[in-house]
Amino acid sequence: MPGVPTLEAIRRVPKVLLHDHLDGGLRPRTVVELAAATGYAGLPTADPDELGRWFIAAANSGSLETYLETFAHTCGVMQTEEALVRVAAEAAEDLADDGVVYAEVRYAPELFVERGLSLDTVVEAVQQGFAEGARRAAERGRNIRVVTLLCAMRQHARALEIAELAVRYRDAGVGGFDIAGPEEGYPPTRNLDAFEYLRRNNAHFTIHAGEAFGLASIWEAIQHCGAERLGHGVRIVDDVKTAGDGHVQLGRLASYVRDRRIPLEICPSSNVQTGAARSIAEHPIGLLARLRFRVTVNTDNRLMSGCTVSSELAALVDAFGYGWADLQWFTINAMKSAFLDFDQRLELINTVIKPGYAELLD
Ligand SMILES: O=c1[nH]cnc2c1ncn2[C@@H]1O[C@H](CO)[C@@H](O)[C@H]1O
Ligand SMILES: [Zn+2]
């Protein structure tokens, strides 16, 4: 089936996901059922279809801060071990059904302790859920490997504690660390102690930067904090100048990011919803991919954007005319950038990804 990649065909090829939030990927029906089971009374509606539409509309706000308000409801229903196990298991199954073969799913453990769970219990419940979900998917012939990333929230002051948690569980499925939450007013250097601790312990971390705020945030994340990857990072285009004759010139920071092959975890639909990009067609990913930055394509929040990895890729095919070779490039970029041992990354590239695209490339 070479030719233009359709959504159905894209769903069948192996894909890799590096930036997906556990609390942004629940099934609407699960939110409703967990609200009933746990006594959470804050949902705007108990009808799953309506609720799904509500999340997308509410997240379509044009600002990161308003977009983030929708997480009160998902976190509200994720305060018990049973709920965490179920949400993680369903996430693994949904990603596997979309053809994702390797995923890094992130969440902030500190958001799930409102009813007395300990941080350790939260991590163990989520790991159990992913193991169960991956096993159920494998029974249906869908193999997926899921690694978790622990986020600290920028506006709280628990980053060091969460970094320690990530290191404590690194041999139990936790692949790394991240900071999330509102970007403006919360520069990554506020959490320098956490990043220094992680580096001393040879641990992996990415930082949400260059989404709602610009180059200063990206520069701090890389040069002060030592981030290996950038969550979003789209604002790096502010350091790329295109002259009237089409000549493109990279500033020092953009050059550094490209030269060092620092992965950009791009989430197109999410960026349109928060106002970081005007539309998919005008999204900086087109330019960044053309300039051969280490671009990866991600969902961010499947519930709030009503998307999957396949639908994000299909939207890019529509907007930029990408073919199978481009989709394989995004996928291999992501696999190369994963917080996974080098030999395991290589094995997935050679035994799963390349064979999955081989007959589509002419
Ligand atoms: O695009 C984003 N930028 C910054 N923070 C985000 C984004 N998406 C989700 N979260 C935040 O990350 C927390 C942990 O998963 C979520 O609760 C949400 O507040
Ligand atoms: Zn994110």
- ipTM of the complex as predicted: 0.99
User: Cα separation of 59 and 275, whole Å?
Assistant: 11
Under the phi-then-psi rule, with left for phi > 0, alpha for psi from -120 to 50, and beta for the rest, what region is 173? left
Ligand 1 pocket residue status of 71, Cβ below 6 Å = yes
Q: 29: CA distance to ligand 2 center in Å?
A: 22
Under the phi-then-psi rule, with left for phi > 0, alpha for psi from -120 to 50, and beta for the rest, what region is 361? beta
Tell me the Cα Rg of the chain: 19
User: Cα separation of 198 and 166, whole Å?
Assistant: 9
In single-letter form, the type of residue at position 274 comes to: T
User: Cα separation of 48 and 224, whole Å?
Assistant: 44
Is 220 noted as a catalytic residue in this protein?
no
Ligand 1 pocket residue status of 335, Cβ below 6 Å = no
The active-site residue, picked from 104, 110, 164, 211, is 211
Instruction: Extract the tokens encoding 235.
Output: 């604002």
User: Cα separation of 335 and 343, whole Å?
Assistant: 11
Instruction: Extract the tokens encoding 261.
Output: 């092959």
* pLDDT tens digit at each of 362 positions of the chain: 578 999 999 999 999 999 999 999 999 999 999 999 999 999 999 999 999 999 999 999 899 999 999 999 999 999 999 999 999 999 999 999 999 999 999 999 999 999 999 999 999 999 999 999 999 999 999 999 999 999 999 999 999 999 999 999 999 999 999 999 998 999 999 999 999 999 999 999 999 999 989 999 999 999 999 999 999 999 999 999 999 998 999 999 999 999 999 999 999 999 999 999 999 999 999 999 999 999 999 999 999 999 999 999 999 999 999 999 999 999 999 999 999 999 999 999 999 999 999 999 97
- What pTM does this model have? 0.98
Instruction: Extract the tokens encoding 219.
Output: 């520069």
Per CATH, the number for 7-357 is 3.20.20.140
Residues whose CB is less than 8 angstroms from the CB of residue 47 and which lie 6 or more positions away in sequence, other chains included: 32
Instruction: Extract the tokens encoding 91.
Output: 């996430």
Q: Report the binding-site residues for Zn(2+).
A: 19, 21, 208, 300
